[in-house]
Amino acid sequence: MKIITVHSFRRGAGKSTLAANLAVLFALHKQRVGVVDTDFQSPGIGQFLGLSEAEVTHTLNGYLWGQCEIQAAAYDVSARLGLAEPARLVVLPASSDTQDILKMVRSTCDLDRLNDGLQKLSEAYQLDYLLLDSMAGINEDTLVSIALANILLVLLHADQQDYQGTAVTVEVARNLGVTRILLALNEAPQWFDEASAAEQLKNTYQCEVAGIFPHSDDLLALVSARTMALYQPDHPILRVYKGIIDQITSA
């Protein structure tokens, strides 16, 4: 089982969109995938994958606080997303309840308990991949998410703040011994020379560039309520997601 942490230095880069679509595409390729929302301060990946607030009775927060076992906080969405065996897609959502979010701000993310839970989840569902939708930036919780990664997928926009922030993230990841770091650039403007940008990113960060996403009004129109991978499976932007999958699975 491989842990893929999806991270960005700044908020709003598109991590959850990326993680959700990758998870679905992995599953469509007959893989068994778990998606874990570790963005406790702004959770929401469950919504992409068909989970409603009403049905989420147990969350990752509750597991970390010792209120439930990990399996109780895991939701198998395979059937509702039309995924056939052997594929599997399991979501471990974070709580979107205000009090829970505030409690998480005050409390700690227990690395040992998280690590233990991820292992149990992986064993219970025989997962091939576990995608961690991380918080943005560098803090204690994201250091945990990065440290756990077998592959770190860093998402950035084409702007100076993200370029500088990505340098910090890559340095931190290397210091934590992450052996594989992939970059993905999001919302590239129309005039962008993708080949040249990919070369520049690769040379600057000494990392593989997994994909460059053009700006997409169609993606925005999904309003984080569903994945392009299922809603419009023939959309051209999916070639970028599939390229990332190919890079991840090629090693």
CB of residue 12 vs another protein: minimum separation in angstroms?
22
Residue among 72 and 168 whose Cβ is closer to another protein: 168
By CB under 8 A, residue 111 contacts another protein: yes
Least distance to another protein, CB of residue 140, Å: 5
Q: How many CB atoms lie within 10 A of CB 251?
A: 11
Among 55, 140, 199, 246, binds another protein (CB under 8 A): 140
The only residue of 143, 158, 198, 222 in contact with another protein, by rule CB under 8 A: 143
Which among 13-21, 65-73, 109-117, 182-190 is the span making contact with another protein, rule CB under 8 A?
Answer: 109-117
φ, ψ for residue 153, nearest 5 deg: -105, 110
Q: Per CB under 8 A, which of residues 160..179 are in contact with another protein?
A: 172, 175-177
Supply the minimum distance, in Å, between the C-beta of residue 227 and another protein.
29
Nearer to another protein, 76 or 97 (CB): 97
241, 216 in Cβ contact below 8 A? Answer: no
Cβ nearer to another protein, comparing 1 with 158: 1
Provide DSSP, 105-145: HHS---HHHHHHHHHHHHHHHT-SEEEEEPPSSSSHHHHHH
Report the C-alpha gap between 174 and 192 in whole angstroms. Answer: 29
Binding of residue 102 to another protein (CB under 8 A): yes
Query: Where are the alpha helices (H) located in 126-237, listed in sequence order?
Result: 140-148, 160-175, 194-205, 217-221, 228-231
Question: Angle at the Cα of 121 (from 183 to 64), degrees rounded to 5?
Answer: 90
Tokens representing residue 155 in the block? 């998402």
Which of residues 148, 152, 183, 229 is near another protein by CB under 8 A?
148
In the complex, the residues that contact another protein under the rule CB under 8 A are 98-99, 102, 105-112, 115-116, 119, 140, 143-144, 147-148, 172, 175-177
